[in-house]
Amino acid sequence: MAKTLVLYYSATGTTQGIAQQIADKLNADIAAIHPVQPYTSTDLNWHDSSTRATVEQKQQHDGRVPVKDDLPDPANYDNIVIGHPIWWGIPPRLIAATIDQLDLNGKVLATFATSGGSSYDRSQSNIARTVKENNYQLDLQKGAVLNSSAAIDRWLASLQLK
Ligand X SMILES: Cc1cc2nc3c(=O)[nH]c(=O)nc-3n(C[C@H](O)[C@H](O)[C@H](O)COP(=O)(O)O)c2cc1C
Tell me the C-alpha to C-alpha distance, in Å, between residue 36 and each of 28, 62, 69, 81, 161. Answer: 25, 18, 8, 21, 31
Eight-class DSSP state of 10: -
Using CB under 6 A, which of 1, 13, 41, 135 touches ligand X?
Answer: 13
115 binding ligand X? (CB under 6 A): yes
> H helices then E strands: how many in the chain?
5, 6
The verdict on 127 binding ligand X (CB under 6 A) reads: no
15 binds ligand X per the rule CB under 6 A: yes
Window of 67-75, 110-118, 132-140, 150-158 that interacts with ligand X by CB under 6 A: 110-118
Task: Name the residue type at position 158.
Answer: S
Q: Are 137 and 86 in contact (CB under 8 A)?
A: no
Please list the residues that pair with 111 across neighbouring strands. 82
Q: Is 38 in the site for ligand X (CB under 6 A)?
A: no
CB 51 within 8 A of CB 43: yes
CB of 40 to ligand X, least distance (A): 11
CB of 84 to ligand X, least distance (A): 8
Which of 15, 154, 59 has its CA nearest to residue 142? 154
| Contact window for ligand X (CB under 6 A) among 12-20, 58-66, 69-77, 93-101 | 12-20
- Binding residue for ligand X, selected from 5, 11, 110, 146, defined by CB under 6 A: 11
Asked whether 86 and 114 are in contact (CB, 8 A), the reply is: yes
Using CB under 6 A as the binding criterion, the count of chain residues that bind ligand X stands at 20
Contact positions vs ligand X (CB under 6 A): 10-16, 44, 46, 53, 85-89, 114-118
